[in-house]
Amino acid sequence: IQKSLENLNLTRILRNSIMTNMNTLKMIRNLILILLIAIVSGLALNTIAFSLPVQPVKENLKENLEVFEKEMESEYFRVIENDDATMLDLYTDALMMNTMIYESDQNNFVNAVAAHHYFNEDQTMQQSFLDLIEEKTEGKEVYAYARYWHGYLLPLKLALSSMTYLDFRILNLFLQILLLGLAVKTMAEQGGRKLVIPLLVAFVFLMPVATAYCLQYSFIVYITLIATILLFHFRENLDQRKNAIYFFFMIGVVTNYFDLLTYPLITFGIPAVLLLFSGKKKTTILESLITFAAIACAWIGGYALMWVGKWTVATLVLHENIYLDAIQQIILRTNDEVKNLELTYSMVLEKNLKLLQRLPYALLFYIPLMMKIPSIVALLIHDQRLFIQKILIMTCFVCVPLVWILVLRNHSFMHYFYTYRILIIASFAIQCAAFSTPSLLRNAEE
C-alpha cells in the first residue's frame, strides 16, 4: 500500500510538472503571437500615416508660426519661467513634426520603416522645422531615424490635418483630464476607491501643463491612464497571474511603439502599483513578490522585444545595420560621462529629485500620508504579516526608478527635466501602501 501511494504521488508530481511546462510553453507561444501581431499592425499604421497628404498639416502648422518662432528661438522652452519641471523638449517635438511632414516619391512602406526627415547639420532641429513649414528645403539632407517605431505619426497627422497646433494643445489637455476622470470613475466603481487620492497626486506631479504642451510627453500619460482604466475594468481577471503577464506585456509593447525614450517606466509603475495594492484576494508575501517579478519581466519583455522587432524589420528593409546604431545609442545612454564630466549616481539622482523638492509637492505628499498614520499603526498592531507584505512590495516599487536611473545614467542626467517623472512611481507606491491599509473601524471589528 505504501509503495502504491508513493507511486501515486510520483505520478501526480510528474503530471503537475508536465502541465506546468505545457502552460508555460502555451504562454510563450501566445506572447510571441501578440508581438508579431503588434509588429505587423505597427508597420501598417505607420504606412497609412505616410500615405496621408502632408499639405493640410503644413497649412495648420503655418497658422501658429509665430508661436513656434517664439518657443523655438532657444534650445528649450519653459511653460513657467525658471521652472525646469515645465521645460518642453522642443528638439524632439520638431523632429516628430519634421518626420510627419516629410514627403518623397519613395514607397510609403519604406518611409514608414526609415522614418525619414529633412535636417541641416548647420541648424538646430527646430530651425530646420521652421524652414520646412515655409517650404524651404535648400541645404537640407534626408536622414533616417529607424531605430524607433514613431507610433505617434498617425494620430498626430490626423489631428493636425484638422486643427492648428494651439488647438491641438487645448485638446491634448482636455483629453488627459477626461481620461483621468474616467480612470477615477472606474477605480471608484471597481474597488479602487482608496487609491484615487494617490492617483490624483501622481497626476499633479506629472506636471499636466507640460505634458499637454509637449507632443512627446503626451503619449506616456495616455498609455498610463488607459492602462489604469482597463486594469480596473478587468480587475478580477487580472488577479490571475497569467492574465496580468499578458496585460503588462502588451503595455510594454504599446509603450515602445509610441515613445521616444522619455519616461516610459511610468506605464509600468502606475498600473503595477495599482494592481498589487488594490487586490481584495488575500495573498502571501511570496505570491505578491512573484507577481511583482512576473509583471515586471512581462513589461520589460514587451518593451524590449517590440524594439528589437523594429531593428530587425528596419535592417531587412533598409539593408542597413540598425542593430549597430541602436547598440551604439544604448552604450551612449548607459555610460557615466557627459562632455568629459564624470557622472556619479548621487549627482544624477539629485538632479532629478530636485524637480520634485517643492513645497506644494511636499504638502500633497505628506498631508495625505499623515491622515493615514492611525490606520498604519493599527495595521502594525493587528496584522504584522500584512504590514510587512505592504512594506516589501512598496520597497520593490521604490527601487524600480532608482535602478532605472542607475542604468540609464547618461540619459537621466541629460534629460532630467522629463526623466524626473519616473521617480513619481516611488511616491505613488508609498501613498498607495498607506491608503490601501484597512480602516480603523475594520481593524476594530477584526
- Residue found by looking up cell 511570496 in the block: 286
What is the DSSP track for 160-188? Answer: HHHS-HHHHHHHHHHHHHHHHHHHHHHHH
User: What does the pLDDT average to over 199-227?
Assistant: 96
Structural domain boundaries of the chain?
A: 165-436
Is residue 443's pLDDT more than 60?
no
End-to-end distance of the chain based on CA atoms, in angstroms? 46
Q: Which residue has the higher pLDDT, 109 or 343?
A: 109
pLDDT band at 408 (very low <50, low <70, confident <90, very high): very high
Handedness of CA 140, 142, 148, 150 (dihedral sign): positive
Report in angstroms the alpha-carbon separations of 159 from 61, 91, 217. 11, 20, 16
pTM: 0.92
Closest CA to 179 of 222, 213, 139, 148: 222
pLDDT at 339: 74
Q: Which residue has the higher pLDDT, 48 or 106?
A: 48
- 151: DSSP letter: T
- Where is 78: in which H helix or E strand? strand 77-78
**Rounded CA gap, 413 and 222, in Å?**
25
Closest CA to 268 of 285, 253, 284, 279: 253
pLDDT at 6: 59
pLDDT at 219: 96
Q: What is the mean pLDDT of the chain?
A: 91
Q: Which residue has the higher pLDDT, 112 or 19?
A: 112
pLDDT at 5: 55
Is residue 441's pLDDT more than 60?
no
Mind listing the pLDDT tens digit for each residue in 279-308?
878 889 999 999 999 999 999 999 999 999
Mind listing the pLDDT tens digit for each residue in 62-94?
999 888 888 888 777 899 888 999 999 999 999
**Rounded CA gap, 377 and 372, in Å?**
9
User: What does the pLDDT average to over 247-276?
Assistant: 97
pLDDT at 413: 93
